[in-house]
Structure formats: C-alpha cells, structure tokens
Amino acid sequence: MAEFGPPDKMTAWTLAAMTELRESICRDLVNKKVFAFHTRVRQPEELYIRTLYALFVASREEYLTSYPAQLQMGLRISIAKSIV
C-alpha cells in the first residue's frame, strides 16, 4: 500500500480529482454537452475503483501497468515524488 504513496495523500488526491470531475460533469449538463457528459460520467467510478485496487490489492508492477500508457510516466513521477 505504501509503495504508491501515503494512503492518506492518495485518498485526498482521489477525492480532489473526483470533485473536479463532478464539477466538470455538472458544467457539461448545464451547457448541454451531451457527448462530453457521457464520456465523463464513468470516470469518477473508475478512479474510485483504481484507487481501492491500488490501496488494498495491487503490487507495484500491477499498479503501474494498470493505467494507460500515456498516464504511466506522469504516475511514475508522482509516485517517485511521494515516496522520496
């Protein structure tokens, strides 16, 4: 669990990201951006599930390979910074 960052920070980052996503989803509805709404609506749930997986189940290798390639470098940098 501590391999990816302190659990309290990891959950705080997840909450902040989910809050931003909620605000973005609400803006999409207000602005009648239906396609944007449909593409974003599942993101909070995916973020929540991935965070639970990282906190309680995943090994370091599983965690780093579970995210899309374009996110991995950013995650590795974040994880490295949080561990140091």
In the chain, which residue ranges form alpha helices assigned H by DSSP?
Answer: 7-30, 34-40, 43-56, 60-65, 69-83
Half-sphere exposure at residue 10, Cβ-oriented, CA atoms within 13 angstroms: 21
pLDDT exceeds cutoff 90 at 27: yes
* 3-25: pLDDT as tens digits: 556 788 888 888 888 899 899 99
pLDDT class of 70 with cuts at 50, 70, 90: very low
Sequence-distant (6+) residues with CB within 8 A of 48 are 14, 18
* Helix 43-56 / helix 7-30 crossing angle, nearest 10 deg: 170
